[in-house]
Structure 1
Amino acid sequence: MDPVVLSYNDSLLRRSDVALLEGPHWLNDQVIGFAFEYFAAERFKSLDETIAFISPEVTQFIKCAPCPGELAIFLEPLDMASRRLVFLSVNDNSDQAAGGSHWSLLVYHPAAAHFAHYDSQNGGNSLHARRIAGKLEPSFGAAGGSKVCFVEEQCPRQQNSYDCGMYVICNAQALCEGVEVDGSAVCLPVPSITPAYITQQRRDWCKLIDRLAKA
């Protein structure tokens, strides 16, 4: 049995999903998707008209979609081009199915036609992030027909093989906090996102899930 622990908007977390947060484990689509949903619906609700969080399964579909026309129709309701920032979690899996072994964060700035990639494993997901950026570029379009810029941004480095998903969540949170404070969302507070901080964040997310489940 794998009972449901929390049903939150479009997210469903089972006991096995929450267990990934409790131990030294790689996070799955469900946990990252829930974090993004919580950010959009509650933590950064004040930025609702400014930012968009794209779920891991939708990002994977974008990366693997074979037909540009079909992808354009799929993207239209998401209204990503009207947002100031679009957050996508990048998986290194090469097919449509869930899975993989590494996560990173891709952020698109539509007004500047700029993709910023934050990878806690020193560019390990660069190929996958660039593939997603390439799929999105025709739909977003750059001013004057110029090519969309792609930059590998400086970000905290993971010290193990399993915390990449937590770095995606924490990096996204830090960037959104920057938008709240001064409208900036490029540079991360690298010194403050330490391995100890990441470990504490695992505990904090477990507590949050428990609180929401009891609400």
Structure 2
Amino acid sequence: MASTGPTVLSYNNCLLRRSDLALLEGPRWLNDQVIAFAFEYFEYDLFKDFSDDVSFIGPDIAQFIKLSQDAEVGMFLESLNLAFKQLVFLAINDNDSDTSVGGSHWSLLVCSRRDSTFRHYDSSGSFNEHAARQIAMKMQPHVGLEKAHVMFAQEQCTQQENCYDCGLFVICNAEHVCKHHFQGTPLTGAVTQASVTRKRGELKELILQLAAQDDVK
């Protein structure tokens, strides 16, 4: 979904327009830009104290990894120093085209060096498992894990009760997995349909607050 309208916020490498913000104002499917913003906010603000140990890879790069040749993936990922990260988060989409924006579902893939496992959190059963496995196989040589010891786990997680909240589940699952790993907060029960619904308003308010801060600089 292409962004349109005036710019609302420029945040690090992410540009949000009025149409992006509107996705948070009602029961709508989130696009690449909103998820990319959340991941950048996690990396550069909320979890900045753990920046040496965690990396958040947004939808555009995850899609590139999935659809590109192994050599291209290696050249691109080398600069990210992923082999030294404890956790790597990726936002996964089921779109198989490299020429158009699309897809119908988001899920979260987490690479954990602690137990050499790619963990897939999918709020719609195993809908995106094939795409997640594709990316995990391409990521393995670049995250400091030996192929013989790498595992893939389809994690149990709260399931969405509608057809449009998958992107919010990705954001909420990523936040709480990171909190659990680095801050020891409980993971079980942390993400519910109610908390995901609240996250829409919280994200909108956060974006507007950051935009207001930019205006006064």
Which TM-score tier does this pair reach, normalised by the shorter chain? over 0.9
Q: Give yes or no for contact 1:5–1:13 (8 Å, CA) kept in 2.
A: yes
Return the offset for 1:147: 4.7
Which of the residues 97, 101, 104 maps onto 1:98?
A: 101
* Letter aligned with residue 188 of structure 2: P
Whether 2:192 is the aligned partner of 1:194: answer yes
**Structure 1 residue aligned with 2:206:** 208
Deviations 1:49-69 (A, max 9, x none): 11000111000000000x212
Measure, in 1, the Cα distance between the counterparts of 2:17 and 2:44: 20
1:146 is aligned to 2:142 = no
Runs of 4+ in structure 1 over 6 Å off: none
Q: What's the counterpart of residue 121 of structure 2? A: 118
Distance 1:179 1:142, change over 3 A: closer
Structure 2 counterpart of 1:92, one-letter code: D
Q: Tell whether the 8 Å contact from 1:113 to 1:141 is kept in structure 2 after alignment.
A: no
Give the alignment of 1:82-97 within 5 angstroms.
Answer: 82-96=84-98, 97=100
Q: TM-score, normalising length from structure 2?
A: 0.91
Task: Write the mapping of 1:15-164 to structure 2, written as runs, cut at 5 A.
Answer: 15-65=18-68, 67-96=69-98, 97-140=100-143, 142-143=145-146, 145-164=147-166
- Structure 1: any 5+ residue segments left out of the alignment? none
Which digits, 9 at most, give the CA deviation of each residue in 1:8-45, with x for residues without a partner?
Answer: 01000000001111110000000000000000010111
1:142 is paired with a residue of what secondary structure? coil
Do 1:28 and 1:99's aligned partners in 2 also have CA atoms closer than 8 Å?
no
Deviates more, 1:122-131 or 1:147-156: 147-156
State the TM-score, normalizing by the size of structure 1.
0.92
Task: Give the Cα separation in 2 of the matches to 1:193 and 1:136.
Answer: 27
Partner of residue 165, structure 1: 167
Secondary structure of 1:193's partner? coil
Count of residues paired in the alignment: 209
Residues 8, 17 of structure 2: 8 Å contact kept: yes
